[in-house]
Amino acid sequence: MTAGSVLVAALLLGGCGPTFDPASLIKTTRVVGARVEVDGAPDRAMPKPGETASVTWLLTSPQATPPVAWVFALCAPGTAGGKTSLSCENTPVALFQGTQNPPRVSIAIPAADALGTATSLLLYGELCAGPDSTPTFDPENGIPRCTGGGTGTSASVLISLQRGADTNHNPTAERAFTFDGQPWAPRVAGNDPCISGPRVSAATKDHVVGNLIEGTDRESYTAMVGDPPVATATRENLQISQFTTAGELKSQFSFVEAVDENPQTTVTVKWNAPKAADVPATGLPVTFTFVVRDNRGGVDWTTRAACVVP
Q: What is the pTM of this model?
A: 0.88
**pLDDT of 14 above 70:** no
Residue 19 vs residue 52, higher pLDDT: 52
Burial class for 34, CB neighbours closer than 10 Å (0-12, 13-18, 19+): buried
| pLDDT tens-digit series, residues 173-224 | 999 999 999 999 998 887 888 888 899 999 999 999 999 999 999 999 988 8
Residue 9 vs residue 256, higher pLDDT: 256
Nearest to 161, CA basis, from 124, 217, 116, 126? 116
Query: Which of helix, strand or coil describes residue 282?
Result: coil
- Is the CB of residue 194 less than 8 Å from the CB of residue 283? yes
Question: For the chain, which domains are there?
Answer: 6-160 (no CATH), 177-309 (2.60.40.150)
Residue 264 to residue 214: CA distance in whole angstroms: 5
Residue 89 to residue 102: CA distance in whole angstroms: 26
| pLDDT tens-digit series, residues 211-222 | 999 999 999 998
**Beta bridge partner(s), residue 153:** 127
Alpha helices in 162-258, H assignment, sequence order: 193-196
Residue 239 to residue 267: CA distance in whole angstroms: 11
Nearest to 164, CA basis, from 223, 109, 122? 223
Report pLDDT for 7: 45
Confidence of residue 106 (pLDDT cuts 50, 70, 90): very high
Nearest to 123, CA basis, from 155, 153, 98? 155
Report pLDDT for 261: 93
Report pLDDT for 15: 34
For the residues of 87-145, what is the DSSP string, one character each? Answer: S--S--SEEEEE--SS-EEEEEPPPHHHHTT--EEEEEEEEEESTT-EEEE-TTT--EE
Report pLDDT for 223: 86
